[in-house]
Structure formats: C-alpha cells, structure tokens
Chain A
Amino acid sequence: MPSLFHILSVGGESLSVTRQGVDTAGHNIANAQVEGYSRQTLSVTQRDPSLVGGHLVGNGAYIQSIRRSHDQWTESQLNNANQALGASDAKRQALKALESVYSPELAAGISDELTNFFNALQELSNNPEDLTVRTNVREAAKNLTQAFHRVDSDLNRHQLDLNEKIGQEAKGVTDRLGAIARLNVKIRELEATPGAMANDLRDQRDGLLREVSTKLDVRYYDDQHGMLLIRGPRNATLVEGGNAVTVHTAGNSRNKGLSDILITDWEGSSTRNMTDALGAGELAGLMDVRDKIIPGLVDRNNEMAVSLVENFNSLHRTGFGLKGFQETSGRNFFAAISDVSRAAQEITLDTTVAQTTDAIAAASSPMAPGDNVLVNELVRLKDARLLGNGNATLHDYYSNYIGNLGTEVVRAQHVHEANNIVAADLKNKRDAVAGVSLDEEAMNLMKWQANFTASSKVITTVDEMLDTVLSLKR
C-alpha cells in the first residue's frame, strides 16, 4: 500500500502538470496572431508504476515534453512554392512598373511622334518652299528624337532601379542567413537537455528560412544536432552550423556595370559568381527583367532608331534644299549613328539641318523650290516595310513590341496568380495544423482548470485523511 505522502506527491505533480497546461494554452492564445507561430501542445505521460505490496501501483503523470504542431512535409512544399512565388512576384512588379514607360495615356509616345513627324513632312509636300512648314518639320523631328531618348532613358532608369533592388535583396539574404546561423547555435545549446525542444526558436528559424526561400533558390535539411544546413544555387553551402556565407553584389563591366551576385564563404577565402545560376526566387525574377526583358526592349528601340535614321538619310542625301542649299545634295537629315547599340540615345538632327531649315531636302532636282518629289518619297517611308526582315513598318514594329511587352506582363500576372493559389493553399494547410484555434484553447483552459480543481481536491482529501490519522492518537 502506498503511503499517504505518495498520494500527496502524485497530487502535487498533477497540480503542476495542469498548471503547465494552462500556461501552454495561455502561450498559444498570446501567439494566436503571430505569423509563423506553431501551436504548442503538452505531452503528458504516466509514470512507471512501482511494485508495492505485490501490486503495481500507478505513480501519477509527468510532463514529457512541450511539442509544436509542425508538418515538415507541408513546410518544405511551402518553401518550394515560395521560391516560384517570389520569382513571379518580383517579375510581375518589375514589369508593371516597366509598362508605364509605354502608357497609352502618354501623348508623346514614339508612335504619336512618328505620326506627327510624317504629317509634318506631308505639309512640307504641300508647301516645300514655306519656312514655317520647314521649321515645323524640324521641330517634329526633334520631338521624335526626344521620344526615342525618353523611352531609352526610362528603360535605363528602370534597369538601374532593379539593379539597386537586387543589391538590397542580396543584403537581406545575407542578414537572414546570419540570423539562421545564430539560431542554429542557440537551438543546439538549448536542446542539449534531453526532451527539451526549442519550439519558439525553431519557429523563428523556419520563418527566416521561408523569407530566404522567397528570395533565393535553396535546399535544406536538419543535421544530427538539429542545426539547419542550407544549400543554394550551384549546390553552394549557404549555412552550415553556426556559419553563414555573405551574398553580395559587384558591378560587372561587361554588363554595363550592372551587379553580379556573388557568394563569399565565411572564411572569406573563396567567392563564387551565381548570377547565371539563380533558378528561382525574387533575385531570379529581378535578374530576368533586368538582363533579358529590358535589354530586349532597348534593342528594339535602337533598331527602330537605326532603321529610321539610315533609310531617311539615304533618301535625303539624294535631294536638294532651298536657297544656299538648292544646288547641293548629299546632306543627312539625322546625324549618322556611330554606335548601333546606343542608337535611341544618339539619334539627333544633323547639325546643318538643326541650324537652318533650308538644308532640309524636299526637291529631287536642283534650283526647284516647288519640287516635292523627294519629300513624297520620304513620306512613303512611313508605309515601307523597313523592319523585321521586310515585314513591318515602323508603326507595326513599335506596336508589336509594345504588344509583346503587354503579353509578357499579362503572362507574368497569370503565373503569379497561379503560384499564389498554390502557395495560399499550402499556407492554409500549414495553418490548419500549426495555427492556433481560440475555441480549442478555450476548451483546453476549461479542461486544465477542471483538472486543476480535481488535483487540488486530491491534496485536500489527503490532508483530511492525514488529519484523521493524526486524530487517532488523541
């Protein structure tokens, strides 16, 4: 037969178990709205019985551990989904900003200025000898060159913005990797005690991992000490134990000085270039827009400028102007382009034409101020298929490349929506397991409270029994 003191100690332990139950429920309620918090549950186990007087007598219950409800499998799926989501989100946002360069509300777009320029030439065809009309042609041409400049500089500005953002993202990744490494050490220290689970620190570490995985292509696993080992692009180790690499950027002179992504290990001994190996994550999405989409648009813009300048000039050189220029031909209208890859930036009027509108050639014969034969040929350039291997007029080409950008934006939006649905679904799944339900916690509170009352009852009962025993002596 167990002693009364045995019952007293069972009751006392029961009291502390139930108190812990209320404590855990309170902790859960406090963290109910904390992003990334995993609900904690008390794992209470019965003690091994002891053999007393030929019977196996129960020894009450004790707290085995406090665990977090956590589904590793969903979590890793979610991290994978986050990589795709990060890439598509970054791409979508970058493209959204980019499409404003070609906003239909902008009246001075290249296509409008092209129309205006060719209309001014039509006026020149009506009145080839009129000074005002000639000035109008020159101004329309200037506006057109400025439209090319604006698009080019807007594209470059967006490219630089993205470049800066990539730098910031890289820094953000470094910070988080460092924090994960520090948590690795803490978790290892705290979990050295048998049965101890560093639930809250693990939640924090999972949160950081989720953020890293939206930005970078990563794979990871726990080592035998519960420390997270993370590998990144090209299988480079990003975090191992308490060490983390530095992700940083450096200008690449072969890519207009735009940043490359570099990873330097914690000893600072080796640096690897990851620019071309970013499979997924925000950084990959930003790189895609910066290094593929924007340069593509810049090229298209340059191609248009070159084609306009060369075709226009080659006709214009055959013609004659007015007054001092009525007997000489061979003048350019636009200044010749020296660097095709900077054509949209370079395009400008020929210096002579800029100085005097008499140099504009409308006539195909000398000394003929009313001759509009050449300007009629120039006007035809508008409908000539100059681009895309002789398939597209200037306007066709422009509207096609804008249409392509628009389609690209729409596609990025659709991909993002799809990724978002997948991620939201997984998040929902995770929250169903790990999230706190207030109703459930309310029931836990009731349960543990009732248990607490009952445990106290055990102690008061033993107390009364002891009183009875002590009163035997009287």
Chain B
Amino acid sequence: MRVSERQRYDTVSNRVERAKDQNRSMLEQISSQKRLNRISDDPVGMTQAIRTRDRIGTVEQFQKNTDFAKGFLEKSETVISQIHDSLIRAKELAVSMASDTYNAPAREATAREIKELMNSVIQLGNSTFGNRYVFGGFRTQTPPLSIDGQFLGDDGKIFLQTSRDGFQQINAAARDLFEANPEDRERGHFNMMDSLEMLYNGLNDNNKDSIRSALSELEYQMDKASSFQATLGGMWNAVGMASERLEKEEETARGALSEIEDVDVYKATSDFKRTETILQSTLLASTKLLQPSLLNFLK
C-alpha cells in the first residue's frame, strides 16, 4: 500500500490525541475523586445517585424528626413523673391525715401543703418544650390548664414522619390524664384537680370521711398517671427504634452513593499509570515513525 506523508502525520496525531484524551479522563477522575463528573459519564448511575442523594437528605431529616420527638417525649415523661410524685406525696399526706391522731390545726397546715402541690401540678401541666405547651394537643400556644386546673387543650394528635411511610405519634391525649372521661365520671370519679381539691377541702373542713374518699380517688389518679407514663414510654421506644433504623439506613445509602459516585482510588491510579505509559510510548514511537525518509540518506 502506498503511504503518503499526510497519512503518517494523521495516524500519529490521531493516536497521540486518543492517548491524551484517555490520560486526561483518568486525571480528572483522580483529581476530582469522582467517577461521575457529568451525567454522560454514567447516565444510569447518575439517576441512582440523584435518588440516593435525596434518600440521604431525607433520612437525615427523619433523624432530626426523631431527635425532636425524643426531646418532646422525654420532656413529657419527666413532667408526668413529677406529677406522679406530687400525687404520691398528696396520697401519703392523705393516709396519715385520715387517722385519728391529728387535730384540725394539723390538718389545716397540711391543707396548705396540698394547695402548694395543686399549684405545682398546674405548673407542671403547663410545661413547655421549646415554645410549645406539651399537653395542649394542637393548642400549643395557650396554657392547657387554667388557674383552677380545668383542661383547656384539645385532643390533637401530633404525628411526625420517621420513615418513608411511617408517622409516629409523639403526644398522648392529656385530656384523659387531667379529666375523668364520662364513663369514669358515672362510676364516681373526678378530674385530677378536683380530686386534690376534695382532699384540700376535706383537710380544711377536718372531715375524715371526705379525706378517705379523696384518698381512694387519688389512687385512681395515680393509676392514670402511671398508664399515661407507660404510653409515653412506649412511644419513646418506637421512636428510638426508628432512629436506630435510620442510622443504619443512612449508612447503607452513603455506602451506595460512594459506590456509584466515588472513584476507586487504586484502580484509578493504576489506570492513570497505564494511560500515561500508553501516551509516552505513543509519543516515543511517533518520533521514530516521523523521522526517516529517503531524503535523509540522499547526499
């Protein structure tokens, strides 16, 4: 075959060009540490990367949600256990005051302590997490308990999203805690504040019978507080499990993203070395190829 000068130069420049391009592309991978530098590098991988990146962002947000939920539940739980403690204290006082050993002045003095307990329960019932009242349902901006202990909140159930299709409730119905429901009312039970009020009045009136009935009523209130606490505990466990799941999910997603996007450094480096060798040998061969001509030997 006849070989013209232009063929030789074209061949050389094409080869050098190709070797340089491969070398450049490997250099880009190494310097950016990314396998995907533009969408055409791997369209399918790119699609997955976009979804995975969204997944990671969402999971991080879910983790924030669970952190918030944990905080909210922990605050509610602390408050409810303090209310429980107040009820226990009230019950202890009621037990001792129900015996015959105390006289009217002693019972009046105790009544004052009960009043203090009542105020502290109202204060506890109006506890806030951040700037929201924890027991008000959706009415988070107004105190859920009035000065005389009436429940002013609503039955709003607050849910937060903790997984792709899972919403987690983070507040229990505080109305059930502070108010006796109609059935219980028929059975002769009262609201929490009314029970304490009964004790207070009994002590002030020096009436052993009403102190005793208040005593049994307080046990009913304590039962409710314990079961309320247990409900919150159950919610906390569910949130805690969700949060552990999310941590694992984030780890998996990050791993997957890195798999798609990031360059395998060892492979990239060795590929870079390989393309470099190709480029150098192409250049070396080119100088040899382009030099000789009959003209060099004509004297």
Q: In the bound complex, do residue A403 and residue B10 qualify as a contact, i.e. CB atoms below 8 Å apart?
A: no
Chain A residues touching B, range: 35 or more
Distance (whole angstroms) from the CB of A373 to the closest CB of chain B: 8
Q: Is B49 part of the binding interface, using a Cβ–Cβ cutoff of 8 Å?
A: yes
> Which of B34, B64, B138 has the most chain A CB atoms closer than 10 A to its own CB?
B138
Give the residues from 73 to 132 in chain A that come closer than 8 angstroms, CB to CB, to chain B. 95-96, 99-100, 102-105, 111-112, 114-116, 118-119, 122-123, 125-127, 129-130
Which residue of chain B is the closest to A119 with respect to CB atoms?
B61
Residues on A with C-beta less than 8 A from B130 are 127, 130
Q: In the bound complex, do residue A379 and residue B161 qualify as a contact, i.e. CB atoms below 8 Å apart?
A: yes
Q: Is A178 part of the binding interface, using a Cβ–Cβ cutoff of 8 Å?
A: no
Distance (whole angstroms) from the CB of B206 to the closest CB of chain A: 44
Interface size on B, residues (CB 8 A): 60
Q: In the bound complex, do residue A433 and residue B7 qualify as a contact, i.e. CB atoms below 8 Å apart?
A: no
Q: In the bound complex, do residue B140 and residue A370 qualify as a contact, i.e. CB atoms below 8 Å apart?
A: yes
Q: In the bound complex, do residue A119 and residue B57 qualify as a contact, i.e. CB atoms below 8 Å apart?
A: yes
Q: In the bound complex, do residue A365 and residue B57 qualify as a contact, i.e. CB atoms below 8 Å apart?
A: no
Residues on B with C-beta less than 8 A from A433 are 2
Partner of B294, one of A35, A102, A439: A439
Q: Is A395 part of the binding interface, using a Cβ–Cβ cutoff of 8 Å?
A: yes
Q: Is A398 part of the binding interface, using a Cβ–Cβ cutoff of 8 Å?
A: yes
Which residue of chain B is the closest to A432 with respect to CB atoms?
B2
Q: Is A406 part of the binding interface, using a Cβ–Cβ cutoff of 8 Å?
A: yes
Q: How far is the CA of A82 from the CA of B54 in the complex (A)?
A: 44
Q: How far is the CA of A395 from the CA of B47 in the complex (A)?
A: 10
A-B contact pairs, 30 of them (CB 8 A): A32-B6, A33-B6, A33-B9, A39-B4, A105-B37, A111-B53, A111-B54, A112-B53, A115-B57, A119-B60, A122-B61, A122-B62, A126-B65, A129-B140, A369-B139, A395-B54, A399-B47, A402-B39, A403-B43, A405-B43, A406-B43, A424-B10, A431-B4, A431-B10, A432-B7, A434-B4, A435-B6, A439-B294, A439-B295, A440-B2
| Extra A-B contacts (7), CB below 8 Å, given A116-B57, A413-B40 | A122-B65, A125-B160, A130-B130, A368-B139, A370-B141, A431-B10, A434-B4
Partner of A376, one of B39, B50, B60, B159: B159
Give the residues from 389 to 443 in chain A that come closer than 8 angstroms, CB to CB, to chain B. 395-396, 398-400, 402-407, 409-410, 413, 424, 427-428, 431-440, 442-443
Which residues does B use to contact A, with CB under 8 Å? 1-7, 9-11, 14, 34, 36-44, 46-51, 53-54, 57-58, 60-62, 64-65, 68, 130-132, 136-141, 154, 156, 158-161, 164-165, 167, 261, 293-295, 298
Residues on A with C-beta less than 8 A from B38 are 99-100, 103-104
Which residues does A use to contact B, with CB under 8 Å? 32-33, 35, 39, 95-96, 99-100, 102-105, 111-112, 114-116, 118-119, 122-123, 125-127, 129-130, 363, 365, 367-373, 376, 379, 382-383, 395-396, 398-400, 402-407, 409-410, 413, 424, 427-428, 431-440, 442-443, 446
Residues on A with C-beta less than 8 A from B158 are 370, 372
Q: How far is the CA of A197 from the CA of B7 in the complex (A)?
A: 26
Q: How far is the CA of A377 from the CA of B179 in the complex (A)?
A: 31
Residues on B with C-beta less than 8 A from A439 are 293-295
Residues on A with C-beta less than 8 A from B140 are 129, 369-370
Q: In the bound complex, do residue B160 and residue A402 qualify as a contact, i.e. CB atoms below 8 Å apart?
A: no
Q: In the bound complex, do residue B164 and residue A383 qualify as a contact, i.e. CB atoms below 8 Å apart?
A: yes
Partner of A435, one of B5, B65, B137, B160: B5
Which residue of chain A is the closest to B47 with respect to CB atoms?
A403
Q: How far is the CA of A440 from the CA of B295 in the complex (A)?
A: 10
Partner of A104, one of B14, B36, B64, B68: B36
Q: Which 7 A-B pairs have the closest CB atoms?
A: A435-B4, A406-B43, A370-B140, A368-B138, A409-B40, A403-B47, A406-B39
Q: In the bound complex, do residue B58 and residue A399 qualify as a contact, i.e. CB atoms below 8 Å apart?
A: no
Distance (whole angstroms) from the CB of B6 to the closest CB of chain A: 4
Which residue of chain A is the closest to B72 with respect to CB atoms?
A126
Which residue of chain A is the closest to B158 with respect to CB atoms?
A372
The answer to whether A104 and B37 touch (CB under 8 A), given A118-B58, A443-B294, is yes
Q: In the bound complex, do residue B36 and residue A438 qualify as a contact, i.e. CB atoms below 8 Å apart?
A: no
